[in-house]
């Protein structure tokens, strides 16, 4: 089975050698996979870093491509369309994997021919320390943390994967359509939901998504992602992205999402009191701020 690892990057050149080294050290035949790295108009030294890496590793199956249309969805679509693999393996430009990663993915899709999507665990690696205000309810949105246990199992749409830890059969991209270019980050924007839109389309179309615990990914978290300012911008962008995503579906979908969001307020207020009683008020305060910022984004306020 031939795998295509797609990495989309924007201004994270310093992380790329670390990411590529983890792929270079795979216990998997180098002629059985390719790496397609899409530079989405980075303004840092990404190009110099990648070309230097290619020169120093001439036998490494790394293909470097520039996508001039700004936006992560443009980059993801370019990566998939330029790929030659049966299986698309997405990895973010600040993630590393274990040496058995690609072999586990190959084994899984070989033994589960009727499954179209796999999703693995994501383990945050902090450059300093994990902040005290992070909770179960804010962990995934800030760090991408994802853990569904130690067994292979089918996932429901509510557990849809993100592109930073998902693989899928390329034929599904051709069947269900590309990533929505109205969604996702563009430059320094924190907009998202392009992966949610894509994988929900597949899963609601009847495609099976399985959790593969052995395909572990490590997400490296800099301090800049743990500031109050970043948290506010990120959570507002989550709401704004959901506004765009649901309105793209229908007004009914948007108002339904608003109703669900109002229900989450009640749960969040209950949890705030729980965190207050258990002396973890910073977790409760961040949860309320999360709901507030998402609501503002949803209402385009």
Q: Any residues with CB less than 8 A from the CB of 270 and at least 6 apart, and which?
A: none
Q: Which of residues 226, 249, 272 is at a domain's end?
A: 226
Query: Which segments of the chain have a pLDDT < 70?
Result: 1
- Name the strand (E) or helix (H) holding 34: strand 33-39
**Do residues 52 and 101 share a domain?**
yes
How far apart are alpha carbons 18 and 31 in whole angstroms? 21
Distance CA 126, CA 212 (A): 23
Query: pTM (2 decimals)?
Result: 0.94
The Cα-based distances of 241 to 31, 56, 65, 75 in angstroms read: 39, 40, 27, 18
| Neighbouring residues of 29: CB distance < 8 A, sequence distance ≥ 6 | none
Q: Does 239 lie in the same domain as 109?
A: no
The pLDDT value given to residue 251: 96
Assess contact for 237 and 192: CB atoms under 8 A: yes
By DSSP bridging, strand 95-97 and strand 87-90 are unpaired
Strand partners, 119: 166, 211
Length of the chain: 301
Maximum Cα–Cα distance for the chain, whole Å? 59
Q: Are 264 and 221 contained in the same domain?
A: no
Last residue of a domain, one of 169, 193, 226: 226
Phi and psi based region of residue 295 (left: phi greater than 0; alpha: psi -120 to 50; beta: remaining): alpha
pLDDT value of position 301:
87
* CB crowding 124-148: b at 16 or more within 10 Å, else e: bebeeeebebbbebbeeebbbbbeb
**Shared domain check, 279 and 263:** yes
**Sign of torsion, CA 61 64 70 74?**
negative
Identify whether residues 184 and 239 lie together within a single domain. Answer: no
Parent domain of 289:
230-298
Of residues 241, 266, 148, 139, the one with CA closest to residue 190 = 241
Q: Within this chain, do residues 184 and 240 fall inside the same structural domain, yes or no?
A: no
């Amino acid at each position: 089975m031939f795998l295509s690892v797609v990495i989309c990057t924007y201004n994270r050149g310093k992380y790329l050698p670390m990411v590529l080294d983890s792929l270079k050290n795979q216990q998997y035949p180098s002629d059985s996979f390719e790496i397609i790295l899409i530079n989405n108009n980075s303004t840092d030294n990404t190009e110099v870093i990648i070309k230097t890496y290619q020169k120093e590793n001439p036998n490494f199956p790394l293909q470097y491509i520039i996508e001039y249309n700004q936006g992560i969805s443009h980059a993801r679509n370019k990566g998939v369309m330029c790929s030659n693999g049966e299986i698309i393996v997405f990895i973010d430009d600040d993630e590393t994997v274990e040496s058995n990663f690609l072999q586990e993915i190959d084994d899984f899709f070989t033994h589960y021919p009727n499954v179209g999507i796999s999703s693995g665990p994501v383990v945050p690696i902090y450059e300093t320390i994990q902040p005290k205000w992070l909770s179960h309810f804010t962990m995934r949105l800030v760090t991408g943390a994802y853990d569904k246990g130690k067994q292979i199992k089918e996932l429901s749409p509510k557990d849809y994967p993100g592109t930073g830890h998902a693989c899928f059969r390329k034929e599904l991209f051709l069947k269900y359509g590309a990533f929505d270019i109205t969604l996702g980050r563009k430059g320094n924007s924190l907009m998202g939901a392009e992966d949610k839109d894509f994988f929900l389309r597949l899963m609601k179309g009847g495609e099976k998504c399985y959790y593969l615990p052995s395909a572990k990914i490590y997400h490296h978290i800099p301090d800049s992602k743990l500031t109050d300012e970043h948290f506010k911008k990120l959570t507002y962008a989550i709401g704004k992205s959901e506004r765009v995503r649901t309105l793209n579906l229908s007004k009914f979908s948007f108002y339904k999402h608003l109703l669900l969001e109002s229900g989450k307020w009640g749960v969040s207020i209950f949890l705030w009191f729980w965190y207050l009683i258990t002396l973890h008020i910073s977790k409760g305060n961040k949860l309320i701020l999360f709901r507030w910022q998402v609501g503002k984004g949803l209402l385009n306020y």
